[in-house]
Structure 1
Amino acid sequence: MIRYGELDSLRGVAALIVLIGHYLMIFPAYESYRYELNSPFIVYLVKETPLRVFFSSGNESVILFFVLSGFVLYVSINNSKFHYPTYIIKRICRIYIPYLVAIIIAISAKMLISHNNLPFISNWFSKSWTVSDSPAILVRHLFFIGQYNTDIYNNVIWSLVHEMRISIVFPFLILPFIGKNLKKSLVYLIALCFSSVLGLYLLGSGVKLTSIFLSFHYVTIFLIGALLAKYRHILITFTLKIKKPIKFILLSLAITCFMYEGLIGEIIFLNNYIFRNYVVSFGVCILFIMSVSSETFGSLLKHRILILLGKISYSLYLYHLISLYSFIYLFYDKLSITVILMLSFICSFLLSSLSYLFVEKPCISLGRYLTKRAKKVDLAIPADHPLTR
């Protein structure tokens, strides 16, 4: 399977954007920003100007993760050697086991470090490490069971709940994509998008962050990535032939889509998370194609720092809040908030690097080892299964 290093770098940049956005959320002025209200000018800059891309695009970055997952999974599934048990084992080793290690560390840190006499920082910060532990809460977090409050220990895990759910059923969801023409694939995708939008609209504001209905919505984001992967060669070939000014316009369009929320601002009808997610997904698709077909943009993404950032991106996503919460609880009354953020930032990268070396890489190796054994004991899907045709 061809691996696109540029996309790994984009994932790394997205993980860094999530980190920056979360660090800013501890400031009440940033957290409580509303488009229709007068707010500090510095907050306006990072919310409604092009600076938003780097400081306030956390949700957009998660959409990038989902599109990328759909892209990568389609490429890995759409081949004659695909075996479902092998696929599931590798996904569990790649996603769940590193998550399990991180959530155990988060739970332990919360129990050992958090305390009730910390002064108010922001409503967002107060949602985490403040709920009493219980067996039910622990079981749900350890096993991804049910719909539960993911803010308690490490609020980034909400996206991993959807990631794992969708990964389990994704090979079957892309069956209508395999062997179908573009028209039929688009009809299938649009039908699912319409169904998910209708379902969420009928449910209104009662949708929880880990809701099955929300997973259905994110399935469509995965499928957008899958459709991009299916026609990637045609799109890349076409983009390679266009002139640089057109490429620049396309890249600008992608960035504009990525900062769509800040541009729309007060127009509530257009600035809802469902419509916004599809606009961002469109921009992400352009970004992906440009990253592998633009020599200038591609060479920038191949910088060794961005490549390293891409490698540790999953661990950075898992550990940056654990680091942030820990440092604030330990040093809030001893150091300035600026120093705390700087120390936490450094620690986040240290923890991520250690996790990549001693958790992620061994888990990937474990997945390969287990799948080799699985094939030996004939756990693979039969050769005549639809997914292997």
Structure 2
Amino acid sequence: MTKRYEEFDSLRGLAALIVLIGHYMMVFPAYESYNYELNSPFIVYMIKETPLRLFLSSGNESVILFFLLSGFVLYLSINNTKFHYSTYIIKRICRIYIPYLVAIIISILAKVLLSHNNMPFISNWFSKSWTTSETPTLLLQHLFFIGQYNTDSYNNVIWSLVHEMRISILFPLLIFLFIRKKFRYSLVCFIILSVCSTILLYLFGSSVKITSNLLSFHYITIFLMGSLLAKYRHVLINCTLKMKKTIKILLLAIAITCFMYEGIVGEIDFLNNYIFRDYVVSGGVCILMILSLASLTLSTFLRSKALTFLGKISFSLYLYHLISLFSFMYLFYDKLPTIFILILSFFFSFLLSFLAYLFVEKPCINLGRYLTRYGKIIVNVTDTIEYPIQKGKIR
């Protein structure tokens, strides 16, 4: 019988919370337009340039964590002798697309009912959302994940789900071609793909339509990193278990430093290239994932009830927090101070996410299981993650 890595659920929950906080901070123009050379307010400097960045300004880094975790989980579900693509794709649609569809419909309805033209300027980021006129084409693009469209129109976070679904469709083929080989072959293939995606982005990155597809190519390499981590997880965990506590602490410090890389080299344009930054962040996340399983202290922390609950609702929190934010801003901006609006929206985001988890996510997961069983195409492949370390063996 297999068990879930609850630590990874908690990491996903923390990442979703960081994304939420980062978006709430984007309401403030001083935060959104921060530049070290512009003498921004000291509090903004503290958030952007100090360890506070880890919790208040690491939204993009958190998405990289999502992609790595997806690569890890998908490898374990695909790397099975009885793997069936039909079972896999039905479960992915039920797990990602249907909850997305419900969320985007709610977002569209909230935008139509609550947004208005006399909203004063808040920040450029805020002004990009819920201001686009509805057209049949735009609605169809959002409902069916088709075409190159403005993913900021209703719910800014869906850009990552577009890449997630694209990559999920192709990922089994990539696993069989690249990851099921020897490590040396897999590593060479990963390097080639990374170099090719980087070159293509530099050559054609100025075109919006082309860039979206090339970014999927780039993020495939992040997924593959997660898959390689899953494939060699036993070796990596066992090696880490044998390390002294001081070495583990040093590795954790390195992981956190990599995660905050953008803030550390923010003023050095060459080093802060987003492609290179993604790989640095990915390296840090890989270290963190292994440590979360091989360190008793970190594992116990991540298995706490509060964090496991956060992990359960993480996908819904990711999908619904902006709906809550935009709705509350339009409803109360001229009635309450902004900070009070954000506090109210923060708590409502958790309530909305919990309800969505109960009445959308869980039924969709069960639907995927039912459809694959009913169609007699289910095999011994589950969405759970194998737990390779026996109880009492984590140090």
User: TM-score normalised by the shorter chain: which range applies?
Assistant: over 0.9
- TM-score by length of structure 2 reads 0.94
CA contact (8 A) 2:179 2:227 kept: no
364-373 vs 172-181, greater mean Cα deviation: 172-181
Q: Deviations over 1:164-185 (max 9, x none)?
A: 0000000001113344211111
Cα 1:193–1:112 shift into 2, 3 Å: same
Aligned partners of 1:208 and 1:277: how far apart in 2?
Answer: 21
Aligned partners of 1:179 and 1:18: how far apart in 2?
Answer: 33
AA in 1 matched with 2:343: M
Q: Deviations over 1:156-215 (max 9, x none)?
A: 000000000000000001113344211111001000000000000101333459711110
CA contact (8 A) 2:261 2:281 kept: yes
AA in 1 matched with 2:347: I
Which residue in 2 is equivalent to 1:180? 181
1:35 Cα deviation (Å)?
3.3
Which residue in 2 is equivalent to 1:150? 151
CA contact (8 A) 2:67 2:223 kept: yes
Gaps of at least 5 residues in structure 1 are 381-389
Which residue in 2 is equivalent to 1:369? 370
- Is the counterpart of residue 58 in structure 1 residue 59 in structure 2? yes
Aligned partners of 1:56 and 1:130: how far apart in 2?
Answer: 25
Aligned partners of 1:18 and 1:239: how far apart in 2?
Answer: 29
Which residue in 2 is equivalent to 1:20? 21
Aligned partners of 2:378 and 2:245: how far apart in 1?
Answer: 53
Which residue in 2 is equivalent to 1:241? 242
Aligned partners of 1:314 and 1:377: how far apart in 2?
Answer: 25
Aligned partners of 2:211 and 2:100: how far apart in 1?
Answer: 16
AA in 1 matched with 2:176: L
Map residues 194-343 of structure 1 onto 2, 5 A cutoff.
Answer: 194-207=195-208, 211-343=212-344
- TM-score by length of structure 1 reads 0.95
CA RMSD of aligned residues (A): 1.5
Aligned partners of 1:256 and 1:99: how far apart in 2?
Answer: 33
Map residues 132-143 of structure 1 onto 2, 5 A cutoff.
Answer: 132-143=133-144
1:146 Cα deviation (Å)?
1.0
Aligned partners of 2:314 and 2:97: how far apart in 1?
Answer: 15
Aligned partners of 2:4 and 2:321: how far apart in 1?
Answer: 27
Identity of aligned residues (%): 73
Query: What is the DSSP-based 3-state SS (H/G/I as helix, E as strand, rest coil) of the residue aligned with 1:23?
Result: helix
1:246 Cα deviation (Å)?
0.2
Gaps of at least 5 residues in structure 2 are 382-395
Aligned partners of 1:54 and 1:66: how far apart in 2?
Answer: 19
Aligned partners of 2:167 and 2:353: how far apart in 1?
Answer: 25
1:265 Cα deviation (Å)?
1.2
Aligned partners of 1:291 and 1:358: how far apart in 2?
Answer: 30
CA contact (8 A) 2:321 2:349 kept: yes
Aligned partners of 1:252 and 1:209: how far apart in 2?
Answer: 37
Query: What is the DSSP-based 3-state SS (H/G/I as helix, E as strand, rest coil) of the residue aligned with 2:65?
Result: helix
Map residues 72-87 of structure 1 onto 2, 5 A cutoff.
Answer: 72-87=73-88
Which residue in 2 is equivalent to 1:111? 112
Aligned partners of 1:156 and 1:293: how far apart in 2?
Answer: 32
308-317 vs 207-216, greater mean Cα deviation: 207-216
AA in 1 matched with 2:115: S
Aligned partners of 1:105 and 1:190: how far apart in 2?
Answer: 41
Q: Deviations over 1:11-66 (max 9, x none)?
A: 00000000000000000000001233321110011101111000000000000000
Q: Deviations over 1:284-325 (max 9, x none)?
A: 000000001100001000000000000000000000000000
Aligned partners of 1:246 and 1:295: how far apart in 2?
Answer: 14
CA contact (8 A) 1:200 1:207 kept: no
1:376 Cα deviation (Å)?
5.5
Cα 1:197–1:377 shift into 2, 3 Å: closer
Q: Deviations over 1:260-287 (max 9, x none)?
A: 0000011101101101000000000000
AA in 1 matched with 2:312: K
